[in-house]
Every structure is written in C-alpha cells, then in structure tokens.
Amino acid sequence: MSEISRVALFGKLNSLGYKAIEGATVFCKLRGNPYVELVHWIQQIVNTQDSDLHRILRHYEVNPSRLAADITAALDQLPRGSTSISDLSEQISDLVERGWVYGSLMFGEVQVRTGHLVVGGLKTGRLRNALLQISKEFDKVKVEDLSDHFAQVVSGSPEDNQAPTDGFTAGAEPGEASGAVAPAAMGKQEALKQFTVDLTDQARSGKMDPIVGRDEEIRQVIDILMRRRQNNPILTGEAGVGKTAVVEGFAQRIVAGDVPPSLVDVSLKTLDVGLLQAGASMKGEFENRLRQVIEEVQSTPKPIILFIDEANTLVGAGGAAGSGGAAKLLKPA
C-alpha cells in the first residue's frame, strides 16, 4: 500500500462501505479474531439489503447460497481467541486504495462505491487471488465487461446518490456536509449520539427491568460520586455477577429522584466501546473519537456521568505499546 494516510483513504468510502467497515470491526471482535480481514468486510456488505455488490452478483449470476457458504467457511478458518483487535488487514486498505483509483480515474466518482471495490479488486492480481480464496464464485464476475457497462449493471443502486464520508462532494466546498458522519471529525454532539446510549432516557421510558437486591452497591456508587476527589467508581467482578445491573439501578434512581440533589439532573450514558473502536484502526482515529466524546461530555450544559462497560479493553487502546493509549486521555478527564 502507498503512503496515503488511512484517514484520507477511508474517508473516500461512501456511508454504506464505511458502515460495513465499522460492522466488520465489531463482528471481528465478537468472533475473537485478531485482525479485521477482507472476508469480515465482504460478509457485512453482503448482509446489507442492497448495494452495487448485490447488483453485480445478480447480473453475473453468482450463486448467493454458495457465496454465503464460502464466506462462512473462510470465517471459520480464521484464528480465534483474541480479546482485542490488532488492526485492519493490509488487504482491506489495499482494496480501498484500488477502489479509489478505479472509481476516480475510470468512473469520475468522488466516492468509493462497493462496485469500485469489486472492479479494483478483480483487476489487481493479489486482491483477485484473495477474493477467489474466499469464494470461487467471484470468478463469475467478468471484470472487463463490468468496467465497460458499470452504470448499467449497478443502475438503481442505493449507492448512486451517496457521497464520501470525508464530506467532499462533486462541486462542493471543502467541509460541506455530505449527510454522513466523517470518520475523523464529528459535528456538534455527534460523538455522544453515535458512541453512547442514554441510560436515564431508557429508564424514563420504561425500557429497563426493575433492579432488585443491589441497593448497597448503588449506595456505594452514589457515595463515591459525591466525593470531591477520587470520585470515579469502578465496578469489578466476574462476568454475569450484575455489574451492569448496578448501573441500570442507578439510572432508575436518578429518574425517580432518589439521589442527592446534585445528581438529580444528571444524564447517565454508557459508552459503546465496540462502536468507538469500530473502523478506528486508522492512525489517530480512535484517539480523535474518544477525545471528542470527552470534550462533548465536558461542554454539555447538562451534567453527564459516563459509564464505560469493559473499561479494561480501553487500556492501551489506540496507543503504541507502553503509551497508555485511551487511559492517558481518560486520566485527566
């Protein structure tokens, strides 16, 4: 891969392709695979309702059942047992770059569509081999014919009117909104909307079950939060003992007003670590997202308490070995 920064490169993906990268990252973590591989990404695109890829596969009579079985088999061959994701595979970055090259030079597009990824992948020897290793069904796609009749093959695709996630559109000024959240920059309060869930809202709308038998733990949480210093409670224990239930019980107490006056108007949000890390293996992207969350929490007029589930997964995340990563950003916050 060339020395193009990942932030710039992945910013050329349209929202469908970029969301599929995010989904692939979460899917990879759930499976315990160490790297987000090309097959994770393809699986996520195939599982969307419609895309350029779907229309290409139908046009060239690719067997969907065989393709799905091949994808499952390829996923099952990946190593498992990893507790964290190391990086995106080089093949993914390579494919995005080839898609960008072909999409911009051959089709005059400013976005990278999934159809461009197919063309770029099948026209590049090493990537073609990688796709055929996942499924021989990709060999049915006649890439030269696809290149000549691309517009007709993908006509009516939901990707027709999408834009790159970096916000640049044909004839647009730099920074003009594209309708998708840019991967390296969030709008006002966008980070909180995208990466957190408001537990007090859920409690207020009755979406939580009553919490029983956690009064002592909830009181301890409140006691720690009321301190002037060292006021960050940490819930420890084996999986399934009810740590999250304590937090949900606290949210219900806030909504009921059964808390000290200084906590009555607080909003309790939980940080979705999976979404925060999804697609954030680009250099600096994870730190940018977390920093934006922290800044929005600090600047909002309504006090916010941020609950970080599985906080141990953030230690070292986004940073080089020994740098402390996310922990360093959170410490002064």
- CATH number of 76's domain: 1.10.1780.10
At residue 112, the 3 state secondary structure works out as strand
270 domain residue, yes or no: yes
pTM above 0.85, yes or no: no
Same domain assignment for residues 135 and 13: yes
85 domain residue, yes or no: yes
The residue segments making up the domain with residue 277 are: 190-330
Same domain assignment for residues 144 and 204: no
267 domain residue, yes or no: yes
For residue 247, CA distances in Å to 54, 200, 266, 316 come to 42, 10, 13, 25
160 domain residue, yes or no: no
Same domain assignment for residues 149 and 248: no
Rounded Cα distance between 201 and 251, Å, is 9
170 domain residue, yes or no: no
How many other CB atoms sit within 10 Å of the CB of residue 171? Answer: 7
Cβ pair 9, 97 in contact under 8 A: yes
Which of 275, 309, 305, 300 shows the shortest CA–CA distance to 290? 275
Same domain assignment for residues 198 and 283: yes
Domain edge (last residue) among 153, 178, 203: 153
Rounded Cα distance between 149 and 172, Å, is 27
Same domain assignment for residues 112 and 201: no
Same domain assignment for residues 194 and 303: yes
Task: Tell me the DSSP string of 233-290.
Answer: -----STTSSHHHHHHHHHHHHHHT-S-GGGTTPEEEEE-HHHHHTTTTSTTHHHHHH
Beta pairing, strands 267-271 & 304-308: parallel
Q: How many domains does the chain have?
A: 2
Q: What is the pLDDT along the chain (333 residues), one digit of tens a residue?
A: 445 667 778 889 999 999 999 899 989 988 999 999 999 999 999 999 899 999 999 999 999 999 999 999 999 999 998 877 778 899 999 999 999 999 999 999 989 999 999 999 999 999 999 999 999 999 999 999 999 999 999 999 999 988 888 655 443 333 333 333 444 444 445 778 878 889 999 999 988 888 888 999 999 999 999 998 888 899 988 878 888 899 999 999 999 999 999 999 999 998 877 777 665 555 567 777 888 888 888 888 889 999 988 777 666 554 443 344 566 667 655
Same domain assignment for residues 132 and 19: yes
